[in-house]
């Protein structure tokens, strides 16, 4: 289908490598078809590169979207981050209309994101000595242990690792010990079945299970506590009101974006933790995935790692008309480059 050029709810999310290689004429043509999303990570990366500061100015409709962490914070405080039922972000602002203070705030946002990533990477690097302990426990006859013995072993195997979010279940006095044990054993069962967790797809599957089984406490230890430490003025009023009422069937209604982001955040931690090679992967590049939740997004990237993330998880399958285009550098394969560029310009998301 040939795209009829019009301003619709189509969004194009380009990564830095693609954005900085686009010719002015290509950028101009694409901007007539799509509304281009510019999250803080893209904005900051473009302005870090010398000579690229004119790119945003040459494209009249590039929309800045709040950092994913801010979006999560707003949703956890009870505010809608979507326009109506379209799953499109609200508070989009044209980059060309941003004043100097707003542009400086994007740098603050980038530093905040880097702080999250630094903490995650540090935790992953510190816990390599625990690498096999949880796997050994998951393969043991833990069903024969008493509750006290079981929770002690869980604590020993997860202490100081990303799986602390699971072990905290045993420490919460609000929950029955037998229920807590059932939740943990379900996690261990899923973990054992996925071993070795050597792909992002497996990491994502385990993260989905963790979030589904215990969204409330994992969200607290991963997001809320971190937001409070970042001194962002997080207001707990709404969270405290609904936290005890959260069930699997209403989480997606109350905190849909938070649930999605939490799955991604935990996935990256697991991916880095379970595979020594993956520790070297740049967490910054991962930030783009947080914006694929929005409807009708065409994500264009020249980063092979992005291709791995998306193909192994299928995270775009449920995003209405979301799509992904992987583009090689022009000098690598001109024919393939032209084919993908043609796809981008002719793609109709409706």
Q: Quickly state the pLDDT bin for 110 (edges 50, 70, 90).
A: low
- More confident of the two residues 167 and 127: 167
User: CA dist 112 to 4, 14, 118, Å?
Assistant: 40, 21, 10
Position 9 pLDDT exceeds 50: no
Whether 58 contacts 51, CB under 8 Å: no
Cβ–Cβ under 8 Å, residues 170 and 162: no
Q: Name the pTM for this structure.
A: 0.85
Quick: pLDDT tens for 261-275.
999 999 988 888 887
State the pLDDT at residue 66: 85
pLDDT one-digit tens code per residue, 193-239:
999 888 999 999 999 988 888 888 889 888 888 888 776 678 999 99
Q: What is the mean pLDDT of the chain?
A: 78
For helices 68-76 and 256-274, what crossing angle results, to 10°? 130
Confidence of residue 10 (pLDDT cuts 50, 70, 90): confident
Q: What is the pLDDT of residue 280?
A: 65
Residue 203: predicted pLDDT: 93
User: What is the token pair recorded at 112?
Assistant: 């905040």
Per-residue pLDDT, averaged over 228-257, amounts to 84
- pLDDT for position 8: 46
Q: Checking phi first, is residue 160 left (phi over 0); if not, alpha (psi -120 to 50) or beta?
A: left
Whether the pLDDT of residue 103 is over 90: the answer is: no
Distances (CA, A) of 215 to 50, 183, 210, 246, 252: 42, 12, 7, 8, 11
Interatomic CA distance for residues 6 and 9, integer angstroms: 10
């Amino acid at each position: 289908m040939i795209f009829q050029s019009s301003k619709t709810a189509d969004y194009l999310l380009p990564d830095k490598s693609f954005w900085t290689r686009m010719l002015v004429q290509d950028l101009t043509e694409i901007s007539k078809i799509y509304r281009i999303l510019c999250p803080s990570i893209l904005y900051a990366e473009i302005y870090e590169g010398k000579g690229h500061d004119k790119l945003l100015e040459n494209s009249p409709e590039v929309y800045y979207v709040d950092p994913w962490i801010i979006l999560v914070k707003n949703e956890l405080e009870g505010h809608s981050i979507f326009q109506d039922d379209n799953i499109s972000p609200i508070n989009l602002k044209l980059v060309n209309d941003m004043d100097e203070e707003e542009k400086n705030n994007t740098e603050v946002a980038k530093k905040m994101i880097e702080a999250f990533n630094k903490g995650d990477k540090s935790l992953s690097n510190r816990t390599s000595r625990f690498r096999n302990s949880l796997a050994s426990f998951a393969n043991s006859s833990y069903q024969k242990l008493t509750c006290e013995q079981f929770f002690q072993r869980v604590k020993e195997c997860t202490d100081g690792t990303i799986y602390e979010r699971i072990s905290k279940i045993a420490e919460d006095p609000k929950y029955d010990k037998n229920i807590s044990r059932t939740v943990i054993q379900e996690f261990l069962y899923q973990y054992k079945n996925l071993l070795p967790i050597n792909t992002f797809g497996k990491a994502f599957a385990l993260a989905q299970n963790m979030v589904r089984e215990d969204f409330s406490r994992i969200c607290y230890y991963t997001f809320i506590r971190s937001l409070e430490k970042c001194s962002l003025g997080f207001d707990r009023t709404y969270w405290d009101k609904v936290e005890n009422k959260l069930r699997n069937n209403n989480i997606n209604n109350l905190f849909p974006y938070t649930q999605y982001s939490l799955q991604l955040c935990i996935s990256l931690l697991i991916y880095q933790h379970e595979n020594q090679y993956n520790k070297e992967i740049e967490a910054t590049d991962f930030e783009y995935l947080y914006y694929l939740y929005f409807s009708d997004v065409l994500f264009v990237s020249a980063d092979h790692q992005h291709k791995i993330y998306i193909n192994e998880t299928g995270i775009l399958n449920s995003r209405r008309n979301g799509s992904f285009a992987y583009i090689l550098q022009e000098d690598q394969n001109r024919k393939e480059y032209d084919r993908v560029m043609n796809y981008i310009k002719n793609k109709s998301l409706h």
